[in-house]
Amino acid sequence: MARRNRTLVPGARGALDDFKAKVMSEKGYQVNPNNPNEVKFEIAKEQGIPLKKGYNGHLSAEESGKVGGPIGGNMVKEMVRLAQERLSNNNQNS
């Protein structure tokens, strides 16, 4: 099956990877800045999920969600926090 989670802005992949590395390291995970996607293996191990490099078709949707959820969820929470902070700063400066 082809991967469907492509970035909308072609040049944004690097910035998203940097953001992922920053957010997950702030959450206490060991993140390789050159390959922040590796953090999923640490999360999987923590959850007791047998994630391995390559094909993981044996995982259930629930197991996959337990790995990807904390990553995406923490990234979204941080994006919302940053947006609220910027809105608050803009309102104070107006």
pLDDT band at 1 (very low <50, low <70, confident <90, very high): very low
With respect to residue 2, please indicate whether it lies within any of the assigned structural domains: no
With respect to residue 4, please indicate whether it lies within any of the assigned structural domains: no
With respect to residue 3, please indicate whether it lies within any of the assigned structural domains: no
With respect to residue 76, please indicate whether it lies within any of the assigned structural domains: yes
DSSP letter string, 4-70 = ----SSGGGHHHHHHHHHHHHHHTT----TT-GGGHHHHHHHHHT----SS--TTS-HHHHHHHHHH
Count of structural domains within the chain? 1
Average pLDDT over residues 34-62: 94
With respect to residue 17, please indicate whether it lies within any of the assigned structural domains: yes
With respect to residue 46, please indicate whether it lies within any of the assigned structural domains: yes
Full residue range of the structural domain in which residue 64 is found: 10-93
Q: What is the pTM of this model?
A: 0.81
In percent, the amount of the chain with pLDDT more than 90 equals 80
